[in-house]
Amino acid sequence: MRMNTNETPYDTAAPGPGGHGAPAPGAEPAADPDLPREMTMPPWLERQHRPPYRGYRAALGASCGHALQTLLRRRRLALAALVAFLPVLIPIALSFLSSSDFAESGNKVFVRLAEELYVNVFTPLMALFFAGMLIAEDIEMRTMTYILTRPTPRSAWVLGRFTAFFIVAAAIMLCSCSLAFAACTTHADLSLTSVTDLKLLLHYLGVILMALLAYGGFAVFLGAYTKRPIVYGVILLYGWQYIATIVPGLVDFFTIKKYTDALLPIMATQRHVTEIQTAIGTFQREVFLVGAGKALVVLFLITAVTLGATVIAVSRREYAADRAAGG
C-alpha cells in the first residue's frame, strides 16, 4: 500500500487575538473584547441629516396655527359669535319698539352697550370660552403628551395658543362692537361721519382689546393650574368682581374691572361716585379713580405675570398619557 506523500500546507503563524489563527488576507482584524467598543450614531441622527431648527418664532407660529385650526373647528365658536352679535339688534329694536315720545340718543345707547355688555360681560366670557380651555382641554383630552413630543419650547407653545385666542376673540368683539355703533347711528346724537363719534368708537375698541389681554391671560392661568377653569372663572370674574365694586374701601383694586373701567371715556357724570341699591335703601359709594396710564401699566403687568406663571406651570409639569404630574 502506497502512502500519499502530498501534505496540506498549514499556516504556522502565531494565533490571532481570538485564538483562531491569523485572519485571512484582506479581512479586518478581530476586535479585542477587552477594549471598549466605539459607539456610533445612526445615520438619521447625524448632523447633516437632522432637520434644521427654524427658531423660536417658527415654533410660536406653529403653535398659533395649530390653535387657530382647533378654535375655528369648534362649535363653541359659532355659539360665542352668535351671542356677541346679538347686541347689534338692540338699537334697531329700540327704533321700532321704544315707548318714549322723543327719539333715543344714539350716543347713550352705544355707550351703555359698549360699557355694560362688551367690556364688562363679553370680554370675560370670551376669555373663559376660548383662553380658559386652550391648555385645560389638551390635558383633559390627553393630547398634551403628543403635542409636546416635538422639541418645541413650552413658552412658545403657550404664547402661540394665547395669540390664537386673542386673534379670534378680537375679531369677533371688534366686528360686533363696530356693527353696534353703526346700528346706533339710526338714532339721534350719533353719526358715522362725525370725527368725535368715530374717536369714541376707537376708544372703546382699544379698551376691549386691553380687556381681552388681561382677562385672557388670567383665563389661561386658570386653565393651567385648575381642572375646572370655567367654574372658577365665573366665580371670580362675575362674582368676586361684582362684590368688590360694592364693598367700601380699596378691595376693588384687586380686580381687573377696576383698571378696565379706568380706561373708559370720562363722561359728564364722572365715575367717582356710584349709587348702590340694596333692600335697605340706596346709598352712595365713593370710588378712588386710577389714571389711564397707570391702568394700562397694571393691565400689561397682569397679562405678563399670568402668562409667565402659565409658562412655569407647563414647563415644570410632566404630562403622561392619563394624567399630569406635578400639578
Please list the pLDDT of the chain residue by residue as tens digits (327 residues).
Answer: 455 555 444 444 445 454 555 555 555 555 556 655 666 666 655 655 555 556 788 888 888 888 888 888 888 888 889 999 999 998 888 877 766 645 678 888 899 999 999 999 999 999 988 888 777 777 777 777 676 666 778 888 889 999 999 999 999 999 999 999 999 988 888 888 889 999 999 999 999 999 999 999 999 999 888 888 889 999 999 998 888 888 877 888 889 999 999 999 876 334 544 554 444 445 566 667 788 899 999 999 999 999 999 999 888 776 655 444 444
pLDDT at 10: 45
| Whole-number pLDDT of residue 190 | 86
Residues in the chain: 327
31 Cβ contact list (under 8 Å, min separation 6): 37
User: Residue 182: what pLDDT?
Assistant: 92
State residue 269's pLDDT score: 39
* CB-based contact 208:200 (threshold 8 Å): no
* pLDDT score recorded for residue 286: 63
Q: CA torsion sign, 180 to 168 to 230 to 215? A: negative
Q: Which three cell numbers stand for residue 303?
A: 397679562
Closest to 319 in 3D by CA, of 136, 165, 69:
136
pLDDT value of position 120: 92
